[in-house]
Structure 1
Amino acid sequence: MISLRHRLIIYILFILTFLLVTPVVQAMPSDIQGHWAEDSISNLVDKGVLNGYPDGSFHPDQSITRAELAKTLAVAYKFQASNKKGQFPDTKEHWAKAYISALADNQIITGYPDGTFKPEAPITRAEIVAMLTRLLKIGSAEEQYTMDFVPSFPDLEKDYWAFHQIELAFRLGILPGYFQPEFRPSRLASRADTAWMIEQLLNLNTVRGKILDNPTGSNLLTVEPDEGEIQIAFVPPEAIVFRNNITTTAQELIKSDQVTIFFNRNNEPAIIKSFGDVNKNDLLGRLSAMVKGRLSSEQISSILAGDWEQVKESIKGELYNQLLQVGLTPEEAESILVQDWAYLDTIGRDRLSAALSSYLGITKDLSRAILDRDFARIKEYAKIELAAIALEKLLGQGLM
């Protein structure tokens, strides 16, 4: 006969076994029912990515601090907590120092110009979008834009520090709908905003692999993923495509390039980043980026070849006006544009250099080197990253 003591031990063991094999379900916050971000909050709370407050609430419309966001992102993306005391003087004794250091180690977060992080400061919409795009490794300072972005938000200027990150996030569909029509970058991000955006980011479909085929004139990419079966993706015209961190078109991507395709919420390719051997288009693209996209790679190539007919009439018209402003007669300006050097002396060419320099925002030395097609001087004056490698390859392959 089993004694009462033995029965009690068996009962306790049964309870402990039940607790060990039964998953722990986080209690849902009491104040999110009916909220627009209820599902996202519930999902992330259930996964342990977000936490409510001790009283059972979540305060979805309350702002989130930089420290709270650092912990949330570190947990969501499983960044190893760092044992460092902190890269920032104001986080060395902070409760979130391990999470902040982990994100800093992975270049996800940065501090302020004075070297501080301000962990208890509420985070703005622009700041959170910048962090989220860094998680995807897009929107970095290394990216060069030769295309003319039409702002998606009327309150954002193209020179705003987070303009491109916000535009990329918008195209991926990871911004809440009510962020339109105005983005209001300095407005504080709420805990609900954070939950919704992070869930969208975690659910994004991303394919990484090698380009197997890219038929000429086609927007179809055949990709061999690092994992899984071969995929064929149609790249819509509105997709943003980078090759070696320079914006380009899908047709310019090359077989054997390493590529990452980011699909938007409609499962359409929205952003493509490809890396491969440096070629002529890379150099032209960097030149185009230097003049802030006012001339495309094709137009620069035409100028280098002396083929002004391929340059848009609007560009020629603008240059024509610039020539008149620096004192040329209409006849001189027209002769310069068609490069009739027999009609003009060296002063005329210098005047064209001045006009080209003024229009493109580059030095007169560089504009003169472009007109003379002096690639050695272009390399010297442009100071383009990788230019030496690119020019060596181009000259060696006879591409110019």
Structure 2
Amino acid sequence: MKRIHFFLSSVTAAIFTVGSLFATVHPPIAQAQTVQKDYVNHPEKANIEYAVKNRLMWLYPDGNFRPEQPITQADVVAGLVNVKGLTVGTPVQGFPVNHWAKVYYERANKDGMLNGVVISPNKVLTREEVAKLLVNAWQNVRASVTQKNSEFRKNDSFVQFVVGSRQMKPKAGKFPNGVATSLYDSFGSVTRAELAYTLSFMKKDFLEVREAEVIADKMHNSIKISGGYITVTAPKTRKELEAKFFIVTKSNQYLDTLEKGYLKHPIADVQRILVSVKNKDTNTALVGYRYTKLPKLDRERIWW
């Protein structure tokens, strides 16, 4: 009898332990999700399912997603933290102690995602406010803030920037100055279905950037300088990606590894090396580096 009692006690403890794993997650995520869903015929069904499967968003206790419900600041912050897999945080002064999103805001705060953002977790955000959070979140992934503040983009609205990056779908409305636009509405709200599109896109982009960084490291390690020559080799990648070196000669001729996957050139004639890893269906590199201090192999991250 003592053994049975010990077994039942152990099972009970295990149940409580598993339950505690969901203590910091938005409550509905731990509920049963077996009833008819309200998004089966929604245009964003695939993105909603991706977002739920990858724990970027959640279903409600009744099994529904509520795709047309406007999102709050806390929804966006939690989703972006989950996209980036952040696990370490710093306190957010004045944040409500018992709010479900407290741990997410702390992680977002350490990441720099909340820079210049007025903290208001329950506020329904405008598209411009959502876009600013997206730009902040991608600063240490693709230098979004740096690019947004560049001479070329500094006068763009945040929505213009993120729609151009495909992180948000276009929508007719008005620019921040009130002028009508067919693509870059800044004042409307963002629905949960629209956020599912955004978070799904950004999660896939985040994973591809990380994959590209591994490839760029392999390319870096392939560089050899010997006997007055520099040799570089582009590694094989999955068919959707393109990885290549560019050797820029003293006469500004560009030689690349695209055709043969391999280059050899006199080091004395090399001005700099450029590295690019990108998706074949876009002109924007996932990762870019340049080497300008040859024969030293110091590299600098660049954004194309």
Of 281, 295, 304, the residue aligned with 1:267 is: 281
Structure having the larger proportion of residues in helix: 1
Distance 1:176 1:99 in 2: 25
Give 1 or 2 for the bigger CA radius of gyration: 1
Distance 1:76 1:43 in 2: 12
Distance 1:260 1:72 in 2: 29
Distance 2:244 2:130 in 1: 30
Distance 1:123 1:226 in 2: 43
Q: Find out whether 1:188 has 2:189 as its counterpart.
A: yes
1:194 is matched by which residue type in structure 2?
A: L
Which 4+ stretches in 1 moved above 6 angstroms? 225-230
| Mapping of residues 271-290 of structure 1, within 5 Å | 271=285, 274-276=288-290
Tell me the percent identity.
16
Residue 62 of structure 2 aligns with which residue? 55
- The 3 A distance-change label for structure 1 pair 92 and 48 is same
Distance 2:233 2:38 in 1: 45
Note the alpha carbon deviations across 1:71-109, whole angstroms, 9 max, x for none.
Answer: 222223221053x5x323134442211111101111123
1:124 is matched by which residue type in structure 2?
A: T
Q: Find out whether 1:140 has 2:145 as its counterpart.
A: yes
- 1:224–1:231: 8 Å Cα contact kept in structure 2? no
1:181 is matched by which residue type in structure 2?
A: S
2:101 is matched by which residue type in structure 1?
A: A
- 1:125–1:184: 8 Å Cα contact kept in structure 2? yes
Distance 1:140 1:108 in 2: 11
Residue 176 of structure 1 aligns with which residue? 169
Of 89, 99, 110, the residue aligned with 1:94 is: 99
- 2:244–2:276: 8 Å Cα contact kept in structure 1? no
- Determine helix, strand or coil for the equivalent of 1:51: coil
Between the two proteins, the alignment pairs up a number of residues equal to 218
- 2:73–2:125: 8 Å Cα contact kept in structure 1? yes
Distance 2:104 2:157 in 1: 25
- 1:111–1:117: 8 Å Cα contact kept in structure 2? no
Greater RCO structure (CA 8 Å; 6+ sep)? 2
- The 3 A distance-change label for structure 1 pair 172 and 141 is closer
- The 3 A distance-change label for structure 1 pair 228 and 59 is closer
Q: Find out whether 1:37 has 2:13 as its counterpart.
A: no
Residue 159 of structure 1 aligns with which residue? 155
Please, what TM-score do these two structures have when normalized by structure 2?
Answer: 0.56
Distance 2:61 2:102 in 1: 22
| Mapping of residues 156-305 of structure 1, within 5 Å | 159-160=155-156, 162=158, 166-167=160-161, 169-176=162-169, 178=171, 181-204=182-205, 205-206=208-209, 207-208=212-213, 209=216, 224=234, 231-232=242-243, 255-257=272-274, 261=277, 263=279, 267-271=281-285, 274-276=288-290
Note the alpha carbon deviations across 1:28-63, whole angstroms, 9 max, x for none.
Answer: 762112111111112222333321222222211111
- The 3 A distance-change label for structure 1 pair 111 and 29 is farther
Of 118, 121, 124, the residue aligned with 1:119 is: 121
RMSD of Structure 2 on Structure 1 (CA) = 4.4
Unmatched tracts of structure 2, length 5 or more = 1-6, 12-30, 173-180, 224-231, 247-253, 257-270, 294-304
Distance 1:79 1:226 in 2: 30
Distance 1:63 1:118 in 2: 15
Distance 1:118 1:64 in 2: 12
| Mapping of residues 4-23 of structure 1, within 5 Å | none
- 1:174–1:197: 8 Å Cα contact kept in structure 2? yes
In the TM superposition, residue 182 of structure 1 has moved relative to its aligned partner by: 2.4
Note the alpha carbon deviations across 1:142-179, whole angstroms, 9 max, x for none.
Answer: 77645x56xxxxxxxx624526xx43x33443332556
Distance 2:276 2:114 in 1: 22
- 1:62–1:191: 8 Å Cα contact kept in structure 2? yes
- 1:63–1:189: 8 Å Cα contact kept in structure 2? yes
